[in-house]
Amino acid sequence: MSDADNADLLAGYSWQQLLARRSFIELDALGRAEALLDPESYRVLAGPFDGLESPWLEPQGITPQADDGTVIVRCEIDGHPVVIVSIEQRFQGGGTGEVSGAKISQALLLAAADSRQQAPTAAVILFETGGVRLQEANLGLNAVAEICSALLDLRPLAPVIGVVAGTVGSFGGMSIAAGLCTRLIVTPQARIGLNGPEVIEQEGGVEEFDSSDRALVWSIDGGEQRKAIGLADTVVPDDADALRDALRQAVAEGVVEPGRHRSQRIDVLADRLAVLDPANPPSPSELRILWGDTYHRIPDVSTRARSGPEPPPTADGPARGRVWLHALADGATVEPVIPSVLSAITDTALYLAVVPDPDNPFYRARHGEVGLTESLALARRIRDIVDADHDRTDRRAIVAVIDLPSQAYGRIEEMSGLHQAMATAVDAYHAARVAGHPIVAVVVGTALSGGFLTHGLQANQIVALNDSGVVIHAMHKQAAARITLRTVAELDRLAKTIAPMSYDVKDWATLGFCDALLDVDDADAPTVDDITIVKTAIDDAVARARRGPRDLSNRLDSEAAATNRRASRAVRDLLARQWNSPPDRRNVEG
């Protein structure tokens, strides 16, 4: 944020107003919620006196917080029923863990249930989060997937308004949730991005992103820039009254016409990427001119789309996705949607895999990472199959074959809003699932971080190979060690007793997300028997998905979840009981 940007926003203020202005950013989570709602209208749910704190922090020598750093408030805003989710940035950097994630998703699900009963209940999410809490890694990663799903369940029924003010911003998987919101309100001090500048620097080097260059950071991630390229709707100064006024208007405007959300506008994303030249990227200021400040189509787009045969395998990235897609596709032709996204379509299923493309013009996505064009390609192919099967009673399954090293860590990706592109793919997967397409994720190799959130974690069913080459986690081990201020050896030691931190797929399978752990002889070059085992597991998973719910609630029903997700269950039960009960004033006054 530049001084000029802030000055422009404050130009209409008298000196008396400037002196009386109350900083929203300086408030804690409860204070921020209280600043926005109608006085005397609110109740705090699952508050500090209910004692629902993370069970995973104390064993790591970290003092837990009684509300796990997330405040849930039922209230009114201008008389409209609203639930506010306010994330406390001072606790673990606002990171999403098991308890905080369950509080957010359950609040959204309860608001959706009320809205279906003719009592529309809007949601307001006050984002101040670095993303997944790495001390709870895989539980936090799944929590973000459940939040995205619950948000999309509510969004057609009542508006979901995101607010990003500062000082942490909205990063990691929670930035995808921000990209799914009905409307997004920001301050100039806000920052929004999938990958924080420090993470990009540690993954790609200082020449990729100099995280010490604060002007650069805000020119790419800052709230004013996000509004200027159409990835936020309203920018207001750091003034609690101004934010309240903007929020009142956003709530009053209600839901958006179906198909008009940013995360549904595949046509707009395609236009924007078509005019973006990775070999000669625009500056942030040039991007404003190129794209404009509204999320609309760009006239007279000249596309750079490539076509041609599928590129050969490369040694510079994971190969299992390609191998297993061919093995599972029942002889169907495997075709590139783009060279880094392969698909095969049969009469019963669509198969999708993200694979390496050494010639990818976005060079930070050449090794199988999920980047801008990969997100678009996934969303486009999924939406196509949903449209094609609209009149079918037995809608085809979608099988996500997963071996990907993560998301793309790149400066151009962040400048262009990778979080919004990924939100487009997440939205497509969710839409297919609720339309009756069984979604099955088959993890055959690496499944990390935002890549897995985008391509896999919206599945009804997840099956994985029981193989040492299968790694599921929120972040690369070396990066996770740096961020948590630990050594790799310390992470490995903690993972022996803290299951969600483990990189071992057998430990991941104990968390309640794994619907089948499959033993094969050779994960890199599968035998006929190996292929039969996985095909049978997919068929079984499709059958379970057709019988089961179309949301992600089945992840709490397993025996494994009963052991390692007891806190998630407790949160959901408590919020359901408190939702319409008299307030416990201690949670406010304590």
DSSP 360-393: -SSGGGSSS-B-HHHHHHHHHHHHHHHHHTTT-S
Say how far apart CA 99 and CA 227 lie, in whole Å: 32
Phi and psi at residue 364, in whole multiples of 5°? -80, 0
* pLDDT value of residue 74: 97
SS3 content of the chain, % helix, strand, coil (to 5): 45, 15, 40
Say how far apart CA 301 and CA 379 lie, in whole Å: 20
Q: Which residues pair with 124 in a beta bridge?
A: 84, 161
Say how far apart CA 98 and CA 132 lie, in whole Å: 10
Cβ neighbours of residue 392 closer than 8 Å, sequence gap 6 or more = none
Say how far apart CA 356 and CA 35 lie, in whole Å: 48
Cis geometry, peptide bond prior to residue 167 (ω within 30 degrees of 0)? yes
* pLDDT value of residue 558: 83
Cβ neighbours of residue 275 closer than 8 Å, sequence gap 6 or more = 290, 291, 298, 301, 302
Written as six digits, the tokens of 493 are 């030691």
Written as six digits, the tokens of 295 are 């999320």
Q: Which residues pair with 186 in a beta bridge?
A: 164, 235
Which residue do the tokens 């299923």 mark?
349
User: 103: buried, middle or exposed (CB in 10 Å: 19+, 13-18, 0-12)?
Assistant: buried
- In the chain, the domains with their CATH numbers are 22-190+232-255 (3.90.226.10), 320-550 (3.90.226.10)
End-to-end CA distance of the chain: 36
Grouped pLDDT means (10 residues each) for the chain, 590 residues: 54 60 94 95 94 94 94 97 96 95 98 96 97 95 98 98 94 97 97 94 92 95 98 97 97 96 98 96 97 94 53 61 95 95 97 97 96 98 98 96 96 98 98 98 96 97 97 90 88 92 95 96 97 98 96 89 92 96 59
DSSP string, 73-95: EEEEETTEEEEEEEE-TTSGGG-
Residue 205 Ramachandran class (φ > 0 left, ψ -120 to 50 alpha, else beta): left
* Residue 72 host element (H or E): strand 70-77
Helix or strand or coil: residue 570? helix
* pLDDT value of residue 184: 98
Distance of CA 456 to the CA centre of its chain: 12
Which residue do the tokens 């055959």 mark?
444
Written as six digits, the tokens of 507 are 């430990």
* pLDDT value of residue 585: 55
Q: Where are the beta strands (DSSP E) in 496-566?
A: 516-518
* pLDDT value of residue 11: 58
pTM of the complete model: 0.94
Helix or strand or coil: residue 421? helix
* pLDDT value of residue 6: 55
C-alpha distances out from residue 234 to 151, 153, 187, 266, 294, Å: 20, 24, 8, 22, 11
* pLDDT value of residue 231: 98
220: how many CB neighbours lie within 10 A of its CB?
Answer: 25
